[in-house]
């Protein structure tokens, strides 16, 4: 369980790194970040209900990275 928490927490620095490396593309990709967050939230819930824990954690990682990119695109 500790490894999963550490990997999920790594989504924050990865999100900031990607937002820093691709700063020019953030504004153009705003609608796609919203779509990714919505799609992977729904899929994460489905896979969490189906007890596919690792897929749900993977989708959570993607949601965190996309959320940081969405937040950084407004700054």
- Average pLDDT of the residues in 5-12: 93
Q: Is the pLDDT of residue 75 over 80?
A: no
Specify the residue for token string 């189906």: 50
Q: pLDDT (tens digit, 9 = 90+) per residue, 12-48?
A: 999 999 999 988 888 888 899 999 999 999 999 999 9
State the average pLDDT for the chain.
Answer: 91
Q: What is the rounded CA–CA span in Å between residue 24 and residue 22?
A: 6
């Amino acid at each position: 369980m500790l490894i999963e928490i550490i990997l999920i927490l790594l989504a924050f620095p990865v999100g900031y790194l990607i937002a820093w490396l691709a700063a020019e593309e953030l504004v153009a990709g705003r609608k796609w970040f919203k779509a990714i967050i919505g799609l992977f939230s729904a899929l994460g819930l489905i896979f969490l209900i189906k007890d596919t824990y690792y897929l749900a954690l993977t989708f959570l990682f993607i949601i965190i990275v996309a959320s940081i990119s969405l937040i950084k695109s407004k700054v």
